[in-house]
Structure 1
Amino acid sequence: MKKLFYLALCVSAIFTSCSEDEIVPQNNENVKVETISGTCKLSEFPKTIHFAGKTIILELMDSTTMPEVEKRVYTKGLTLNGPYYVSGTPRQTNYTNQKLSISNTVGVPTGIYFGDVWSTSGEIRLPQQAMIGTIGMPNPAGYIDWRTREKGVNWSMATTSTGLKLSWHFYTLVLNYNSIGQAVSYVIPLDGAKVKIPYYWQ
């Protein structure tokens, strides 16, 4: 009798746990996600993008530019939320030990090098109440495409339940050896690990 009781208890526990595992949270079908993506070449900065009822401005900025931007905003009598800063995250791509012809690059002798391709990326979130967001892209700029070495940034935007998410990335080259096998240490056109993106919203 005791065996039957314990058997029934175990079967009950199994059915209870299975039914709880099958509970799937329902998605909110009223939330419509909008997305947009593109590139911004060095020659196109500053670039204004209108998306999801917001205006996003991509500007080239460095340590000397941000104070000027703040001054410009305050002069217009606008409320400045920020500047906030996000760091870039560099990751090595699958393109390693590439043969690269380098010329017209400050601090790097013209020649053939062997190196790795890295991608630096980051994410910025603007709240629902933000109507205008200004994002400071690094100056000097990274590469949109490491093969063509065109400078700029790749970007994408998506609406979220709390506002807007802007993702960005660019490429850099880490040169390890020159054509005669000597070890070198160059990162062009900029070191992604040192990139800090300023942004503010109104």
Structure 2
Amino acid sequence: MNDLTARLRKLAALLEEKGADLEGKSWNTAVTGFGKALAKFEGSAEDAAKGLAPGLRDLSKLFESPDKKLLDDSVMKKLYKEILDARAPKDVTAAKMRAAFVTEVKKQGGTTAKKALSLAQEVISELKTPKEKPSKDADKLRLELHRLGMLADDDQREYELAKRFSDKADLKRLAQAAGLPVNKDAKKPALTAAILTAAKRVAAHTVPV
């Protein structure tokens, strides 16, 4: 832990001194990736300091977020069965099911909390993802690119690209609709990264009506 603390201090000093001069696509990508990893690390550190099971805080936040409306009776029954190996409470609202679920997960500890968070996130991402197959029309794909850019977080964007655009041909068409150069031998990870950047750029330059 002392080694980690020293590394973080050294990195902080470097960024304070040189951060304003650093730029470029690779650097921006690295910053985004590090930022996401750091946010998770900060959460884990805070949870450990408070004696909370890993994942429990994020699970509680998820169950209190606007996405909680997706965690209805049927979803909660699934979570109870797969995570707690139990039946959900009868004759209660979905809100009370969620509260009771978090309480029970807290009792069972870290492994259960992480499994519950992972499954809940997976279910929510699936429910938020459009069910229709990707269009082959360039104009519709440009609208799709804008919709992806307007999503609240990278995790949902990445999930949708992995699920709805699992076919490389669909991914290429989306990239071409975004005006991106697409090589014949382009790899899916590179296409995905370029599309994510393009989608956020399109959304950022959208003027509200």
**Bigger fraction of residues in strand:** 1
Higher relative contact order (CA 8 A, sep 6+): 1
Q: TM-score with structure 1 length normalisation?
A: 0.21
Greater C-alpha Rg: 1
Higher helix share: 2
